[in-house]
């Protein structure tokens, strides 16, 4: 049975789940959610897809799941991919996934939204500046960790990589220039060189160009 992932191309969190599904080799298909049009907050969506009113959300037969990290864990359980080689590596992967959700993706997602998806006159310059400062600190942590390493944990692609890269391939400006971070830059190239990799706007339906 084909797994359905409710998503939109603009969502970095949806991209984490979509990329895990795509690289896992599982049979899946994206289902576009008009998030900006309010679809995810409708009673029907909350009742039949995700009561939290968010993307991504996954339906596999009778099983429903939301939150990108949970979907990634489900893909790993189903396929044996993207996990660690032992207990220590699995906890290290979890540590980086939690760090990403708190320190990197949450900040990048909000900053990118404020800078690109709000009308220019409504963009809060002080908030954006504050968030970019927090992101700078996160980039420093990740870049330092990746100096001399190909992957965040172990010697292959794991959910730590799939989580932390979630927003870093997007072209919209939000204060991230990968050329300024050589460790991150090389690591992102390792991910995009992985057979089957796709850019978020190629992997999922929906992009800013659709609303231009």
pLDDT digits (tens, 9 = 90+) for 33-54: 999 999 999 999 999 999 999 9
What pLDDT is attached to residue 212?
A: 67
Cis omega (within 30 of 0) on the bond before 56? yes
- For the stretch 142-189, pLDDT in tens is 999 999 999 999 999 999 999 999 999 999 999 999 999 999 999 999
110-135: pLDDT as tens digits: 999 999 999 999 999 999 999 999 99
Edge-to-edge strand list for the sheet holding 3-7: 28-32, 3-7, 57-60, 63-66
In this prediction, residue 185 carries a pLDDT of 98
All domains in the chain, ordered by first residue: 3-81+198-211 (3.40.30.10), 87-192 (1.20.1050.10)
- Residue 4: per-residue pLDDT: 98
Supply the mean pLDDT for the chain.
97
Token pair belonging to 127: 């908030």
Q: Assign residue 67 a region (left: φ > 0; alpha: ψ between -120 and 50; beta: otherwise).
A: left
Distance of CA 97 to the CA centre of its chain: 10
Q: Quickly state the pLDDT bin for 211 (edges 50, 70, 90).
A: confident
């Amino acid at each position: 049975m084909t797994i359905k992932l409710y998503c939109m191309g603009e969502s970095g969190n949806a991209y984490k789940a979509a990329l895990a599904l795509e690289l896992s080799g599982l049979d899946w298909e994206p289902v576009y959610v008009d998030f900006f049009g309010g679809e995810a907050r409708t009673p029907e969506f909350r009742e039949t897809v995700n009561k939290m009113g968010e993307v991504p959300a996954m339906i596999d037969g009778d099983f429903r799941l939301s939150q990108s990290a949970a979907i990634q864990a489900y893909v790993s359980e189903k396929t044996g991919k993207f996990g660690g080689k032992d207990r220590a590596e699995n906890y290290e992967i979890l540590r980086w996934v939690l760090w990403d959700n708190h320190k990197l993706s949450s900040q990048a997602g909000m900053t990118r939204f404020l800078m690109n998806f709000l009308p220019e006159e409504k963009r809060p310059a002080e908030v954006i500046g504050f968030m970019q400062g927090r992101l700078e600190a996160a980039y420093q942590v990740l870049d330092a960790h990746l100096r001399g390493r190909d992957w965040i944990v172990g010697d292959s692609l794991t959910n730590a990589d799939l989580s932390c890269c979630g927003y870093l391939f997007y072209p919209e400006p939000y204060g991230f220039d990968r050329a300024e971070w050589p460790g991150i830059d090389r690591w992102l190239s390792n991910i995009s060189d992985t057979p089957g990799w796709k850019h978020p706007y190629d992997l999922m339906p929906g992009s800013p160009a659709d609303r231009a």
